[in-house]
Amino acid sequence: WVCVLAVEALSWTMGWLVLRLRFGHLSVAAFWSRQAGSLLMLIFFAAVGSQARIADLLSRSPALVAFVGVCLLVHSSLLLLLVRIVNPWLRRCSRLGPISLDEALVASNANVGGAATAAAFAGATLKRPDLVLPATFSGVFGYGVGTSVGLVIGQWLR
């Protein structure tokens, strides 16, 4: 309850501050709303993570933990390898430029963890507010594609 009350008080305070600021200070409001959003997401993740019991997970399903670890290791290895292979081509042929490590990590996070964790990772961990919107978009796009593919495969396996 304390965490819920703290989040509620913080969101009301931020709303009140945004309403009281003049439009000339909109950049200040945008900055503080980004900071508050990142803080609230981190509080949410901490509340969800505090319910996890790692010892129970390891004792009940060590094979699942090993499988997920292997999947994440293969995913991150392939991601970094592909970025290393594609970047020289992007430097020569593309006006967009090469893919930075931050961009690759945020894309990976959106793929594995979804929109919320990718946005929190980009904004709070990497301090890259320019990557929050692409992280959210790619995570939500992944939800749509994953749900559609999952429904098709489910119908096919029936």
| Distance separating alpha carbons of residues 66 and 131, to the nearest angstrom | 31
Would the pLDDT of 18 be above 90? no
| Distance separating alpha carbons of residues 48 and 145, to the nearest angstrom | 26
pLDDT score recorded for residue 15:
53
**C-alpha to C-alpha distances, 20 to 8, 29, 120, 130, 137, nearest whole angstrom:** 18, 10, 27, 26, 30
pLDDT score recorded for residue 25:
56
Residue type, position 109, single letter: N
Query: Would you call 53 helix, strand, or coil by DSSP?
Result: coil
Residue type, position 91, single letter: R
Would the pLDDT of 70 be above 90? yes
The total of other beta-carbon atoms located within 10 Å of residue 124's CB is: 19
pLDDT score recorded for residue 120:
85
Mean pLDDT of the region 114-128: 86
Residue 1 confidence class, pLDDT cut points 50, 70, 90: very low
| Distance separating alpha carbons of residues 16 and 106, to the nearest angstrom | 32
**C-alpha to C-alpha distances, 68 to 12, 41, 73, 112, nearest whole angstrom:** 39, 24, 8, 11
Q: Which residue has the tokens 């913080």?
A: 10
Residue 145 confidence class, pLDDT cut points 50, 70, 90: confident
Q: What is the pTM of this model?
A: 0.64
Mean pLDDT of the region 134-153: 86
Residue 21 confidence class, pLDDT cut points 50, 70, 90: low
Q: Residues near 114 by Cβ (< 8 Å), separated by ≥ 6? A: 139, 142, 143
